[in-house]
Amino acid sequence: MRWWKVVGLAGLAGVAATGAVMARAERRRRAYTPEQVRERLHQRVAETVEYPASDDIGVSE
């Protein structure tokens, strides 16, 4: 093999490895903590469902 083929293959391997490392870092950056997931789910439920106030439950004494 000629030296330029070796350099080209090494460059191609370097680009592929860099892409893999960047993709992994992006997934970690976008990962949410369990608390963040829980908070977001609570927000979404609160937007779609109106909870009655404690006085409006309708329990008679």
Residue 28 lies in a domain: yes
Q: Which string of DSSP letters, residue by residue, matches 37-56?
A: HHHHHHHHHHHH-PPPPGGG
Q: How far apart are CA 11 and CA 5, in angstroms?
A: 10
Q: How far apart are CA 3 and CA 31, in angstroms?
A: 42
Range of the domain at 26: 13-49
Residue 5 lies in a domain: no
Q: How far apart are CA 7 and CA 14, in angstroms?
A: 10
Residue 20 lies in a domain: yes
Please report, in tens digits, the pLDDT of each residue of the chain (61 residues total): 788 899 999 999 999 999 888 888 888 777 888 898 889 899 988 888 765 555 555 555 5
Q: Considering the entire predicted model, what is its pTM?
A: 0.43
Residue 40 lies in a domain: yes
The reported pLDDT for the residue numbered 55 is 55
The reported pLDDT for the residue numbered 42 is 92
Q: How far apart are CA 29 and CA 19, in angstroms?
A: 15
Number of domains composing the chain? 1
Residue 58 lies in a domain: no
Q: How far apart are CA 42 and CA 37, in angstroms?
A: 9
Residue 4 lies in a domain: no
Residue 61 lies in a domain: no
Residue 6 lies in a domain: no
